[in-house]
Amino acid sequence: MDRTNKSLIAVSAVSGALLGWVVKQSVSKRQERVDYKPFVERVKNRERNFYAEGRKRAKEIESIKQEVHHKIEQ
């Protein structure tokens, strides 16, 4: 290996280590926040809300169907 390749490898290793440290610090500070919720937890909450809204709308549609059916029968 010549000198350029060795220095390129050294610079790459140092920059990779520095980038890893920065990401680790960023994640650590983010988790310390009071309002922090993991991504998976946010997705689960959103899914629960969509399911609850869908169930509510389905009940509303069913009541409208029953109301129309009763009016037709009269």
Task: Please tell me the distance from the alpha carbon of residue 11 to that of residue 3, in angstroms, as a whole number.
Answer: 12
Q: What is the pLDDT of residue 39?
A: 83
> Which value, to the nearest 10 degrees, does the dihedral of the CA atoms of residues 26, 31, 33, 38 take?
120
Q: What is the pLDDT of residue 28?
A: 87
Note the pLDDT tens digit of each residue in 30-40.
878 877 778 88
Domain boundaries, the chain: 1-34, 37-74
Task: Please tell me the distance from the alpha carbon of residue 69 to that of residue 32, in angstroms, as a whole number.
Answer: 56
Task: Please tell me the distance from the alpha carbon of residue 51 to that of residue 60, in angstroms, as a whole number.
Answer: 14
Q: What percent of the chain has pLDDT over 90?
A: 61
Q: What is the pLDDT of residue 5?
A: 84
Note the pLDDT tens digit of each residue in 59-71.
999 999 999 999 8
